[in-house]
Structure 1
């Protein structure tokens, strides 16, 4: 037992030493780590697997991991399993025995009842009816040329160009009962049978391992490595054939946990892995190594390395993923005496010392890990801090006092505290050689092998000194558990608290960098910095991982903070930019369980000042509540692959739609649910999503880790759903899907056109009805006006005419009389004539338009002849130009002007001839009425004459048409009236 434990400790140290000097590979399981230092995660039937026994694993180009079980086929995206079986797809059977991923994106599935191909979301089945020699499939392999090789029953079958070519054992192959097939680095096919292993070279089969060498071993797995070695696993261990034909067997004496080897795999770093009946093993040099007991008792059925470098193990107990991480953790599994380290320190010779919560002090050295406990002279096995003096002695703060270690000899100094507070949380030597102690009783000094208190504290826990740091100006800095920060230089002491700008009085770590900035880790106040006499504060609200900082280390560019929620790395440049308001928020890089920590809590059992330490080779060591974690900032880190984004399904009102082609969704699609995934098998919890629906969303929507989106009552139209997935350190990847929501019948163009036509027809009908109503009402008005005109003409007007005639006769009889009766008679006669004029005007306005049913030219010609009928006056009407349709109002006014001018010529001019001329040309109309009467003086001609309508009305009508009226007359020369009107 002691021999095995010592050997294991030496192995762990060798691993640590190699880890510090060799570059790390990307996306692979680092062979320099022990198997327990890989992150291990297990999925079982309780997590969604159809069954715990995994018989086959494959990965298709879209990133999905496929698992074959006895209860169906399972597809895994890192989050959940989707199960395919005979109840929901066209699989020939539920017992999946073999899987092979094809270069064209298809997945070949071997079952106990036939062969299936999954491509473009469809299953296609092949059985003996399609040419298989046997439906019991036990092996599948696609070679470099895309040809599928099948182990069907005892036969070998080749599927190429849609046809099966079968090879019968003994007849077509020099083997009995085909068991396994594999291709080597030179693309030659190796076939293992019950009795021998042969290689197909061209069309010939050459025996590579004969029955004597196999010695009855049943071949269960084969792999060809990059060095042309061929590895064969079977019921009697592992057989390796070198390129020169040498045979090497591996069994229990070589580290295999069991003789039955069902799976072999070579990873991308060239490591050979074996899956046995009692767990996995990795070839390390010339021996196989296994994880510690308890984690490796499962019967392994298959091994597979995915494109991200994770190793997947299918066993009778579920699916296991082994993942390499950025951080390397050491604990009891790797030979440490405890999983609870409190302090870590590197001495001047490069040796790593670790102090534990309950297991003493350990030297992490190449000669084996040596542990010192109370049996070796320590006052207690709980260690709080480790420092070194200038002469190479270790100063160890422990429960029970200060321990000075010289070589392997311990000397303990106990603080003289009357209350029995004898713990020393931190101790360090300053530049003058004075040794300071941080204790529950205050700040003390070791001088002449005696301890005396320099700054004693009250018997309160909050006053305990817990951490120390040397200042570059010779001062000493001391942090308390809850009373602030002390500065001591000579006899000058000063206490800084929250009143001076500290974010918290609970000090946990101190460090002064080369530029003089004092960095202060606090509990509750985050990270503080004392710079140029002023405290700066950086907290979780500003972007830090936590406000509880138990320790810090400096790699030159960044500070590494040990917190209660993990490790936080923040660039000092960021901190200064934030302090100067040049950036709105801190953006640190955080490390937790997903990066390899077994616990995110980096705080030890009691806050002390040695929880994080930067070694001389650049490694940074962290104490956590579950092991010692190591980070090498100078090593090459794997760059994560971008997630493979896939649309999982689209459901419309609960019914799934076919994703094979663009989708046309019905007009009654109320609820559209889209499920998507970003396949990142290494760390699916780190994938973050954003999505946008083109046609609805104006910009991308951040979805966090949510992988489903619902859209309700989308309007009809064309849409494109786009989703992006990304992980830190990798570019985003995107997937999109176009679909159309069909319109309701009332939203279609033909329906809208029909409605528009119906509305137009209705509007036309309403218009016609309204027009008929207007015409009818207008006819009634005209009829009434005509009736009134007749009544006035036949009664009032005629009466006025009679009265006027009688008055004229009376006036003639009284012509020679000058009595007042003559005066009154003349007045009555003038009044009667005025009333007659007004009656005629009313009759003229009430009569129907003379234009009704004819244009202006015709109305002028007929009207002029009507107006002069019976007068004996000659009339000449001349129409020239190009007559055209004129506005009715214009024609009415021009006709009335002509009528008035003719009437004036008849009544007042005594003319014997009247000429009416109408001429129209582009943009202008001319109307001229001319007579050969007596004429008159033009002065005052537009004033009202004796109450007659007069020429003023003619001028007003011309002005209303936007034209002008010109009158020319001289006594004895007749009169000419000319109207010029612009045409519309």
Structure 2
């Protein structure tokens, strides 16, 4: 994130860059007539609070400010923002004066005090703060920051936070002061009814007497770059020269009205005067006003201001007007043309520029004026379609009423019985063999040696018209028709090309052969075609052209200029060639329209052969439009666009406004953020392109186009910085930013998350302990039930077997000596009863927790070994080694049972004298080994089941349940070793 100092430095640097570039922006071209500037007017319907514009100023951030009778308006070129008494910003809606300072402040004179606007806040000073009167009629902030204002009949000076006041008549040599002004040398001037005075030291000294003013009431003053002081008043203008001479200007000097209310000198030293009869400009010692009937042109001009981009702003009773100097210069009836509907342009060999019109005849420019020829001068008709010059220098004019030749100022027209009698002639050309080719509504005619020959006509034309001609360097003639394709005439042969032969459309409007021999074809509906190497190539609006309706093509050698029904576009021929060879997928076309100064984008008013433009010898391009003749100089020096100052206008969180003058911490829940911004471009705001990024959310710049409002929904808590860039194509960008933090809810904070995790862990542990207690309780019930079953078995089944065995022994002893067979059976029954008794006792042992109850595995093994071998002659030893640690209960239970089963097997089958039990505990495993010195056995029979006893098989299953393994080592006569290894985790 850029630190605060860095942001402020960036803003200062960008402001200086903007001001530097703006000072060098193109101003109003003084060579243009007033009517040739592009004039745009805004009124209440377009957003002004009221139509009377009394004052205009521009602050350092680029905004234009307008004082009206219903409040203060701020303008960025796109929309107005209103400040007034109703929204609590101002003490009065009547704004009388404005003065902007280099530090970004704006001083506002109102009918109820003096107001300062700084850092987006309004502060008002009244008589309570030292003003002598609350009615302010003029304000001037001088170079030092001192603010001078006319308050009632007083002159007030605001300096170092305090007011000092001068009263008319006593402190001032003027009876009724009306205005205050600082000149280029930083002199302070005052004027009103009774003269003009200048501040010298601490006193005002008269400079122009009341007698010299002759009762004039001064309303405005200005010093020009030549050192002259201009004084505007109710009786005209008075100029005090640097030599001290006075000259007066009034309506006799061209002012449209004697009451001059405002003055301005633009950056090209043009002096502008705003009068009760409109705007005027000083030209050659006299004032010139627009020669139009517009109501705005005749309105009171109360204020004039030139912005940093070179536009001239005019505050009137009827709204706000802007005069803009665009790249196109328009010639219309305001400049002396007979009509605003030209159809064709042509420059003859003498350099004279001829213009044909729809219904107003033919004319040319001469000595700043336009001379016209019509039917009254011998033309056969006033609707002109084409103009050309023959080898003799005669002018050939194609009209609706036939072809006319102008020689020595006189017209000769082809009438019946000539073949061209009263035919509509759309175009005319002369080839290299002195033949004149004429395109008419009835076909193509060749004129040579005073004779006419129809080359294409009748059924060949298929009820269409020849509308445009092109003579090519190979001697062939090409003729475009109105809907029936393209004809070629060469050495007496003719051929027709249509869409079936590759044309994109059969309506042909323009034909041009370039220096490489390619024929460029403008169609109406099919875009641009090119015939090159015997093949047609097509370019349409889908490929990037402005329009598919092309009325005229102009070739400047490297590129083509196309006039269309939607404006004028410019494209290089190399780009077109690359597109045809599939090196490009789309065309990069430069388009020109209303924003460039065209009064109409319609360059083909709808006539079959209209729209014929021309490139004059000085390189200028002339295009007929439906609202005048548009002239463009493509070779004129082009200044790069200046940076566009960008401002954050408003930011809301959940619809609540946020103070943008300081970083903000937004309370939790403000997840819906709306940000409004604007790039201040007073010339063409529609050309400004925006991109933005929200650091903390976006990873790259987002292209916004012309959008000025951005919405974010469901933002998470965190630190953010919003950045926005504004730029015009080809120019540098400027940037604005704002940092804010969205605070988290309490449940989103770190301490809450830690606490919640601890509580969750504690809850989990409690649930685990509860579950463990439940399992242990259930296991205790199981053990209790097993103990009960063991007691029942011991008290019933086991005792029964004891009784049976005793009775069988008694019967066997009472049998006579010869009853051997019976004794054998009885002895067998006794052995079976004793065996069953042994198994019952073992079951009782298995059902009980035995020695493990309340003991660990070590103690249980030692106690169990003594218990299992009690009453037998076998010697048993127990060795326990390794780490002492608590083992899982199921491991201890199963290992104890394995050891018990191993010992039982030794006692049953091994006839051993010694048993050694070894238990070794390691970090990751447990090893149990039971060895004896008995008779041993064959290992392949080890895991068989006999008589329902599972033996080693059961031990192995217990080991595998624990994830371990059982290993057996035994040989007949060499004892047995059982080893069980179990992993520990």
Is the contact made by 1:341 and 1:604 (CA closer than 8 Å) also made in structure 2? no
Separation in 2 of the partners of 1:462 and 1:691? 59
2:890 aligned with 1:854: no
3-state SS, counterpart of residue 32 of structure 2: coil
Instruction: Pick closer, same or farther for the CA change 1:920–1:85 going to 2, 3 Å.
Output: closer
Instruction: Pick closer, same or farther for the CA change 1:853–1:513 going to 2, 3 Å.
Output: same
Uncovered stretches (5+) of structure 2, i.e. residues with no partner: 1-22
Separation in 2 of the partners of 1:480 and 1:278? 52
Instruction: Pick closer, same or farther for the CA change 1:836–1:186 going to 2, 3 Å.
Output: same
- 1:54 corresponds to: 53
- Greater Cα offset, 79-88 or 910-919: 910-919
Instruction: State the 1:562 CA deviation.
Output: 1.6
Instruction: State the 1:407 CA deviation.
Output: 2.1
2:27 aligned with 1:28: yes
- Greater Cα offset, 849-858 or 777-786: 849-858
3-state SS, counterpart of residue 851 of structure 2: coil
What is the correspondence of 1:174-193 to structure 2 with a 5 Å cutoff? 174-192=173-191
Instruction: State the 1:856 CA deviation.
Output: 2.4
- 1:115 corresponds to: 114
3-state SS, counterpart of residue 852 of structure 2: coil
- 2:78 corresponds to: 79
- 2:499 corresponds to: 498
Any idea what the Cα deviations from partners look like across 1:216-273, whole Å, max 9, x if unmatched?
A: 4322211222232222222232222333333333222322222221111111111111
Instruction: State the 1:516 CA deviation.
Output: 0.5
- 1:264 corresponds to: 263
- 1:138 corresponds to: 137
What is the correspondence of 1:6-25 to structure 2 with a 5 Å cutoff? none
Instruction: State the 1:717 CA deviation.
Output: 5.0
- 2:545 corresponds to: 544
Instruction: Pick closer, same or farther for the CA change 1:698–1:923 going to 2, 3 Å.
Output: closer
What is the correspondence of 1:127-276 to structure 2 with a 5 Å cutoff? 127-169=126-168, 172-192=171-191, 194-200=193-199, 203=202, 205=204, 207-276=206-275
Separation in 2 of the partners of 1:962 and 1:605? 98
Instruction: Pick closer, same or farther for the CA change 1:805–1:200 going to 2, 3 Å.
Output: same
Instruction: State the 1:140 CA deviation.
Output: 1.5
Instruction: Pick closer, same or farther for the CA change 1:809–1:967 going to 2, 3 Å.
Output: farther
Instruction: State the 1:445 CA deviation.
Output: 1.3
What is the correspondence of 1:901-940 to structure 2 with a 5 Å cutoff? 935-936=934-935
2:439 aligned with 1:435: no
Instruction: State the 1:720 CA deviation.
Output: 4.6
2:317 aligned with 1:346: no
- 1:476 corresponds to: 477
Separation in 2 of the partners of 1:405 and 1:946? 138
2:874 aligned with 1:886: no
3-state SS, counterpart of residue 75 of structure 1: strand
3-state SS, counterpart of residue 396 of structure 1: strand
- 1:277 corresponds to: 276
Any idea what the Cα deviations from partners look like across 1:829-871, whole Å, max 9, x if unmatched?
A: 5544543443333223211142121222322333344445566
Any idea what the Cα deviations from partners look like across 1:784-818, whole Å, max 9, x if unmatched?
A: 11111222223323433454566677778999979
Separation in 2 of the partners of 1:491 and 1:291? 57
Separation in 2 of the partners of 1:401 and 1:707? 57
Instruction: State the 1:198 CA deviation.
Output: 3.5
- 1:3 corresponds to: none
- 1:445 corresponds to: 446
Is the contact made by 2:443 and 2:461 (CA closer than 8 Å) also made in structure 1? no
Any idea what the Cα deviations from partners look like across 1:573-630, whole Å, max 9, x if unmatched?
A: 2222222222222232222222222222112462326621000110111111221111
- Greater Cα offset, 408-417 or 499-508: 408-417
Is the contact made by 1:467 and 1:509 (CA closer than 8 Å) also made in structure 2? yes
- 1:126 corresponds to: 125
- 2:685 corresponds to: 684
Instruction: State the 1:659 CA deviation.
Output: 3.5
Instruction: State the 1:119 CA deviation.
Output: 2.0
- 2:311 corresponds to: 310
Is the contact made by 1:426 and 1:609 (CA closer than 8 Å) also made in structure 2? no
2:404 aligned with 1:400: no
Is the contact made by 1:462 and 1:480 (CA closer than 8 Å) also made in structure 2? no
Instruction: State the 1:279 CA deviation.
Output: 1.1
Instruction: Pick closer, same or farther for the CA change 1:910–1:177 going to 2, 3 Å.
Output: same
Is the contact made by 1:345 and 1:610 (CA closer than 8 Å) also made in structure 2? no
Instruction: State the 1:158 CA deviation.
Output: 2.7
Is the contact made by 1:194 and 1:218 (CA closer than 8 Å) also made in structure 2? yes
Is the contact made by 2:108 and 2:116 (CA closer than 8 Å) also made in structure 1? yes
Any idea what the Cα deviations from partners look like across 1:46-77, whole Å, max 9, x if unmatched?
A: 33322221110111222222111122112222
- Greater Cα offset, 732-741 or 948-957: 948-957
2:356 aligned with 1:355: yes
Instruction: Pick closer, same or farther for the CA change 1:103–1:815 going to 2, 3 Å.
Output: farther
Instruction: Pick closer, same or farther for the CA change 1:832–1:648 going to 2, 3 Å.
Output: same
Uncovered stretches (5+) of structure 1, i.e. residues with no partner: 1-23
Instruction: State the 1:482 CA deviation.
Output: 1.4
What is the correspondence of 1:498-897 to structure 2 with a 5 Å cutoff? 498-604=499-605, 606-608=607-609, 611-651=612-652, 655-663=656-664, 672-691=673-692, 693=694, 703-712=704-713, 714=715, 718-739=719-740, 759-760=760-761, 762-804=763-805, 821=822, 824-825=825-826, 828-829=829-830, 831-869=832-870, 882-897=883-898
Instruction: Pick closer, same or farther for the CA change 1:422–1:852 going to 2, 3 Å.
Output: same
Is the contact made by 1:457 and 1:463 (CA closer than 8 Å) also made in structure 2? no
Separation in 1 of the partners of 2:913 and 2:459? 143
Separation in 1 of the partners of 2:905 and 2:541? 106
- Greater Cα offset, 736-745 or 407-416: 736-745
Instruction: Pick closer, same or farther for the CA change 1:632–1:260 going to 2, 3 Å.
Output: same
Separation in 1 of the partners of 2:216 and 2:821? 165
- Greater Cα offset, 711-720 or 249-258: 711-720
Instruction: State the 1:304 CA deviation.
Output: 0.5
Separation in 2 of the partners of 1:319 and 1:965? 105
Is the contact made by 2:938 and 2:972 (CA closer than 8 Å) also made in structure 1? no
Is the contact made by 2:851 and 2:863 (CA closer than 8 Å) also made in structure 1? no
Separation in 2 of the partners of 1:116 and 1:377? 69
Instruction: Pick closer, same or farther for the CA change 1:770–1:450 going to 2, 3 Å.
Output: same
Instruction: Pick closer, same or farther for the CA change 1:310–1:953 going to 2, 3 Å.
Output: closer
Instruction: State the 1:209 CA deviation.
Output: 3.4
- Greater Cα offset, 124-133 or 956-965: 956-965
3-state SS, counterpart of residue 321 of structure 2: strand
Instruction: State the 1:655 CA deviation.
Output: 4.7
Separation in 2 of the partners of 1:385 and 1:877? 127
Instruction: Pick closer, same or farther for the CA change 1:556–1:981 going to 2, 3 Å.
Output: same
Separation in 1 of the partners of 2:421 and 2:765? 109
Instruction: State the 1:34 CA deviation.
Output: 0.5
Any idea what the Cα deviations from partners look like across 1:176-204, whole Å, max 9, x if unmatched?
A: 44433323333333333544434335556
3-state SS, counterpart of residue 425 of structure 2: coil
Is the contact made by 2:515 and 2:557 (CA closer than 8 Å) also made in structure 1? no
3-state SS, counterpart of residue 51 of structure 2: coil
Is the contact made by 1:562 and 1:602 (CA closer than 8 Å) also made in structure 2? yes
- 1:69 corresponds to: 68
- 1:286 corresponds to: 285
Instruction: State the 1:531 CA deviation.
Output: 0.8
Any idea what the Cα deviations from partners look like across 1:315-371, whole Å, max 9, x if unmatched?
A: 222111111111001111111122221221101111111112222221212274322
Is the contact made by 1:926 and 1:978 (CA closer than 8 Å) also made in structure 2? no
- Greater Cα offset, 886-895 or 626-635: 886-895
Is the contact made by 2:551 and 2:610 (CA closer than 8 Å) also made in structure 1? yes
Instruction: Pick closer, same or farther for the CA change 1:977–1:409 going to 2, 3 Å.
Output: closer
3-state SS, counterpart of residue 463 of structure 1: coil
Is the contact made by 2:461 and 2:484 (CA closer than 8 Å) also made in structure 1? no
3-state SS, counterpart of residue 45 of structure 2: helix
Is the contact made by 1:372 and 1:378 (CA closer than 8 Å) also made in structure 2? yes
Separation in 2 of the partners of 1:815 and 1:612? 153
Instruction: Pick closer, same or farther for the CA change 1:819–1:418 going to 2, 3 Å.
Output: farther
**Residue correspondences, number:** 957
Separation in 2 of the partners of 1:812 and 1:415? 169
Separation in 2 of the partners of 1:924 and 1:591? 87
Instruction: State the 1:953 CA deviation.
Output: 6.1
